[in-house]
Amino acid sequence: MASMPKFSTVISWLIYSVPIYIFVLNPLLQQVVPKPVSSLWDANYASDDWDDSAPGLNLTDDSFISPEDGVPLNCAGEPAGYKVHLLSRTPLILYIENFLSDEEADHLVDTSLNKYTPSIVYDGFTERVDPNKRLSDRALLDRDDTVRCLEDRARAFQGWRPHLYIERMWAQRYNASGHYRHHYDWTGSLARGGDRLSTFMVYLAADCEGGGTNFPRLQMPAGKQWCRFLECEDEQSEAEGGAGEGWDRATSKKDGITFKPIKGNAVFWENLRPDGTGYTETWHAAYPVTSGTKVGLNIWSWYQPPKRRR
């Protein structure tokens, strides 16, 4: 028995070893074995170690993204400012009042008018029109002054994050019965070299009944103030048209939250976790418009991580 340390001695060793590990061993190990890039945020800086021209989507091809090409901005009609309200930290979801001025929203509606074609769905292999899943028309917006100012606003909002590219913007027009069934904006695979990191869902015109943006997996926040922007239970009978036949309508807390379409306002959310997988909480739908017309604008940010130079 003499060779066995006392129980109390073992306990003291354990207690002493914790600070030794935290303050001495771990920092030493981190020096010797640097952490691999394991987070979307790790490559959040510009450096000669990174190569932005590495394989992935062609980032100078302006049919998909809006390259920063140095054209001077003219943001005459921009809003005086916007107000931001935090809805969720993880995933990050923010509500933005007056992200666009009425003037900007009207301008985008006007310039999109002659450009609409039926919206398509992408099933991983092909793009096709599927009115059961998605019934709306979409228009690719020209990069005029207003659109360029919005691209700039979207970059600034996200802290001018490197390796983030604003996609070309599409207006989406929903007539009566127009809708988009529940879906994700991300693919959750870096197969194409990148993925959609974030989404701004902006409302350009909302002269309509129904047409809310539903997130069935999010919880109603406690503050009653949110009823300005979200459909609240006691209003549900009014918002009868939230959804129609064959839809799981949000009629109670368990059906998540539904944003009312309000002109000029936007919902912003992040689609990807730091490890590049998608947040399943971002499952969302455009509920059917029951009368009138809704025009939405998607501002998607494509994240394409740079490759480490060899």
The residue type of 42 is: D
Residue for token pair 């002269």: 207
When the beta carbons of 10 and 54 are compared against ligand NAG, the nearer one is 54
Residue for token pair 């459909």: 231
Strands of the chain (E only): list them: 50-51, 83-88, 93-97, 117-118, 121-122, 127-128, 134-135, 137-140, 164-166, 170-174, 179-183, 195-210, 213-215, 257-259, 266-270, 284-286, 289-303, 307-308
CB of 137 to ligand NAG, least distance (A): 5
When the beta carbons of 67 and 221 are compared against ligand NAG, the nearer one is 67
Residue numbers at the binding site for ligand NAG (CB under 6 A): 58, 60-61, 135-137, 175, 178
The residues with which 269 forms a beta bridge, in sequence order, are 93, 199
Rounded alpha-carbon distances, angstroms, from residue 56 to 167, 193, 307:
15, 4, 10
| Residue 75, helix vs strand vs coil | coil
CB of 295 to ligand NAG, least distance (A): 11
CB of 128 to ligand NAG, least distance (A): 15
CB of 250 to ligand NAG, least distance (A): 24
Instruction: Let me know if 53 is exposed, middle or buried by CB neighbors in 10 A (0-12, 13-18, 19+).
Output: exposed
Element (DSSP H or E) covering residue 147: helix 145-157
When the beta carbons of 217 and 307 are compared against ligand NAG, the nearer one is 307
When the beta carbons of 180 and 268 are compared against ligand NAG, the nearer one is 180
CB of 266 to ligand NAG, least distance (A): 23
When the beta carbons of 221 and 292 are compared against ligand NAG, the nearer one is 292
DSSP 196-260: EEEEEEEEEEEEEEE--EEETTSPPPS-GGGGGTB--GGGTTTTGGGS-TT-----SGGG-EEEP
When the beta carbons of 153 and 173 are compared against ligand NAG, the nearer one is 173
CB of 205 to ligand NAG, least distance (A): 13
CB of 173 to ligand NAG, least distance (A): 7
Cα separation, 155 vs 165, whole angstroms: 8
Residue for token pair 């913007």: 169
When the beta carbons of 61 and 123 are compared against ligand NAG, the nearer one is 61
When the beta carbons of 103 and 130 are compared against ligand NAG, the nearer one is 130
CB of 117 to ligand NAG, least distance (A): 10
* Alpha-carbon 258 to chain mean position: 16
